[in-house]
């Protein structure tokens, strides 16, 4: 009751504050959103030397510390220009992405003209949020005011994030953005504190997913002078152990918890520590139930991945308790971040440009999810079945010697590639007899022709194509000219 009263008071104050007429300063500092107008341009993954047409989007952010704006990674991804705007000023400031973490979908933006921050005080992160607690989504509204759209937290759970398949803590909120649409990183506040940033909004269900303050609180300290350290990743796949027969088979007690590790991905935190077939019982003394939930003091049952990601930094040690071959074992695991470069098939493109190499008109590049997305909206259904299979099942599994799946994308027709012109979407196995595990291997192998020839062998039917080494220089020049390709290779 008291709380409600408080809230009502705050609301009133806010309204007056926004009108800016009656009171020049509210009783306590209210979080103020800033608006980001982003122009972005992506690589055309089917013609990687080209960029797609630029596109514009607008989203929100808020000042999180002096000189630093917090927003979501998806708002500023692939930005070519960021215009920052604040309420009450009809001018733009130039923003620049400082740190971006695609996994937790967060980014910070700095502003060239530091006077931008003069009258903006950093928001405080909310300590906690309860289920059913009312919150407000802050947006810009005409004319020159800030509107607080009411909503309520209805769910706390660990979910896949927007850009990456990794799972982190989220809040689900019931909210109605009405005709304006939402999901553009709107700050979510309660009691004058930042509860989180809006990640996605489903207008039909009137449901928003929020990146909670708890994740933001872990994100900020990882921004260190020596670089951004990121979030740790547990590094394994698991399944529940609900079935009593399965539990008996694993020699687990009837009344206990634990999850069964189905695979450990190489180079991950768990590589060399956990083994497929282990049953993980507890993480730093917190027991996991048989579906992989632990009991959070605040929010109740949460997926165990939250334990690894929300309470530790990369480099931290974590104590694990598990059952291996019927014996209880205690182990320590050093947590590490799973980097984009660790993926066999990266689920998103980072800030580095897409690598490619064009030789004899053959476009060679690495398989990424963005490459598959070139099949259009329905790429999951329409794309090449082999590439989809790898994306679906092998995205994290890196075999020795194979950093990436290297593809023949397609062939730019020229007399030098007569007979090869219909080839597309083949997986490159070898160049000049050297195994190919990444696109750099192709460049390296091309330094060593087999006699007078360059030979490419593909996985499919062991199909080969051959070029005369002496022909390539002229052919490549001709192809670059004919197809207006500024650079025939981009590897850095």
- 343's tokens: 């993926």
Which of 39, 47, 206, 263 lies at the binding interface for other proteins (CB under 8 A)?
A: 263
Among 4, 245, 297, 377, binds other proteins (CB under 8 A): 245
Secondary structure letter of residue 28 according to DSSP: S
Shortest separation between residue 457's beta carbon and other proteins, angstroms: 10
- Asked if 52 is part of the footprint of other proteins (rule: CB under 8 A), the reply reads no
Would you say 94 or 262 has its CB closer to other proteins?
Answer: 262
Which residue lies nearer to other proteins by CB, 27 or 276? Answer: 276
CB 161 within 8 Å of CB 168: yes
Q: Which of residues 202-241 bind other proteins (CB under 8 A)?
A: 237, 239-240
Q: Does 251 bind other proteins (CB under 8 A)?
A: no
Tell the smallest beta-carbon distance from residue 420 to other proteins (Å): 6
Q: How far apart are CA 34 and CA 32, in angstroms?
A: 7
At 421, list the tokens.
């012109």
CB within 8 Å of 25: residues ≥ 6 apart: 17
Q: Cβ(263)–Cβ(236) under 8 Å? A: yes
Q: What is the 3-state secondary structure (H, E, C) of 457-476?
A: EECHHHCEEEEEHHHHHHHH
Is position 254 an interface residue for other proteins (rule: CB under 8 A)? no
Nearer to other proteins by C-beta: 393 or 448? 393
Asked if residue 419 binds other proteins (CB under 8 A), the reply is yes
Q: How many chain residues interact with other proteins (CB under 8 A)?
A: 40
79 with 38: CB under 8 angstroms?
yes
> Which residues, 351 to 410, sit near other proteins by CB under 8 A?
378, 381-382, 385-386, 388-389, 391-393
Find the part of the chain contacting other proteins (CB under 8 A) among 54-62, 144-152, 328-336, 462-470.
462-470
Tell me the two tokens of residue 396. 């994290």
Q: Which of 160, 295, 459, 474 binds other proteins (CB under 8 A)?
A: 459
Instruction: Provide DSSP, 53-120.
Output: PPEEEEEEEEEEETTEEEE-HHHHTTEEEEEEE-TT----EEEEEEEEETTTTEEEEEESSGGGGTT-
Residue from 125, 139, 358, 465 in contact with other proteins (CB under 8 A): 465
- As measured in angstroms, the least distance from the Cβ of 113 to other proteins is 50
- Enumerate the H helices of 110-258 as residue ranges: 213-219, 244-249
Residue 468 makes contact with other proteins by CB under 8 A: yes
Which is nearer to other proteins, 142 or 462 (by Cβ)? 462
At its nearest, how many Å lie between other proteins and the CB of residue 362? 12
Cβ closest to other proteins, residue 332 vs residue 462 = 462
Residue 248 interacting with other proteins (CB under 8 A): yes
Using rule CB under 8 A, residue 143 touches other proteins:
no
Tracing tokens 């269900």 back to the chain, one arrives at 205
Peptide bond into 354 cis (omega under 30): no
- The least distance separating other proteins from the CB of residue 328, rounded to whole angstroms, comes to 20
Nearer to other proteins, 96 or 463 (CB): 463
* Cα(411)–Cα(190) distance, integer angstroms: 56
Sequence-distant (6+) residues with CB within 8 A of 166 are: 103, 104, 160, 231, 233, 309, 338
Residues that bind other proteins (CB under 8 A): 237, 239-240, 242-243, 245-246, 248-249, 260, 262-263, 378, 381-382, 385-386, 388-389, 391-393, 416-420, 453, 455, 459-468, 471
């Amino acid at each position: 009751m008291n709380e409600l009263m408080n809230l009502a008071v705050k609301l009133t104050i806010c309204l007056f504050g926004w009108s800016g007429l009656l009171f020049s300063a509210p009783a306590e500092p209210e979080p103020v959103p800033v608006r980001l107008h982003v122009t972005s341009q992506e690589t055309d993954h089917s013609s990687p030397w080209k960029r797609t047409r630029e596109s514009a989007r607008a989203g929100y952010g808020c000042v999180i510390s002096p000189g630093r704006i917090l927003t979501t990674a998806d708002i500023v991804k692939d930005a070519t220009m960021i215009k920052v705007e604040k309420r009450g000023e009809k001018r733009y400031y130039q923003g620049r992405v400082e740190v971006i973490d695609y996994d937790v979908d967060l980014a910070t933006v700095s502003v060239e003209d530091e006077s931008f921050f003069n009258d903006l005080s950093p928001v405080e992160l909310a300590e906690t949020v309860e289920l059913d607690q009312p919150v407000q989504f802050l947006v810009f509204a005409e004319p020159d005011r800030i509107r607080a759209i009411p909503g309520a937290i209805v769910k706390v759970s660990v979910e896949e994030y927007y850009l990456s398949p990794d799972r982190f803590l989220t809040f689900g909120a019931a909210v109605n953005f009405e005709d304006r649409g939402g999901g553009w990183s709107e700050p979510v506040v309660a009691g004058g504190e930042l509860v989180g940033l809006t990640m996605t909004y489903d207008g039909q269900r009137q449901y928003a997913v929020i990146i909670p303050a708890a994740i933001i609180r872990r994100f900020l300290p990882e921004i260190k002078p020596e670089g951004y350290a990121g979030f740790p990743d547990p590094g394994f796949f698991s399944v529940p152990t609900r079935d009593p027969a399965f539990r008996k088979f694993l020699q687990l007690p009837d009344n206990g918890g634990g999850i069964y590790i189905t695979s450990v991905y190489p180079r991950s935190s768990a590589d060399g520590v956990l083994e497929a077939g282990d049953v993980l019982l507890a993480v730093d003394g917190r027991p996991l139930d048989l579906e992989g939930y632990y009991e959070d003091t605040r929010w109740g049952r949460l997926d165990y991945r939250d334990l690894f990601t929300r309470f530790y930094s990369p480099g931290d040690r974590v104590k694990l308790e598990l059952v291996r071959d019927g014996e209880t074992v205690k182990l320590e695991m050093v947590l590490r971040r799973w980097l984009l470069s660790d993926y066999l098939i990266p689920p998103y493109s980072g800030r580095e440009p897409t690598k490619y190499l064009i030789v004899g008109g053959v476009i060679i590049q690495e398989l990424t999810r963005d490459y598959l997305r070139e099949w259009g909206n329905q790429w999951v259904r329409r794309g090449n079945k082999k590439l989809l299979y790898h994306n679906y099942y092998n995205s994290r599994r890196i075999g020795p010697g194979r950093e990436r799946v290297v593809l023949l994308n397609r062939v730019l027709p020229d007399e030098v590639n007569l007979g090869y012109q219909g080839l597309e979407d083949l997986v490159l196995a070898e160049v000049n007899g050297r195994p190919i595990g990444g696109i750099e291997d192709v460049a390296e192998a091309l330094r060593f022709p087999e006699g007078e020839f360059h030979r490419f062998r593909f996985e499919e039917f062991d199909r080969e194509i051959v070029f005369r080494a002496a022909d390539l220089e002229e052919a490549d020049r001709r192809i670059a000219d004919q197809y207006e390709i500024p650079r025939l290779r981009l590897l850095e």
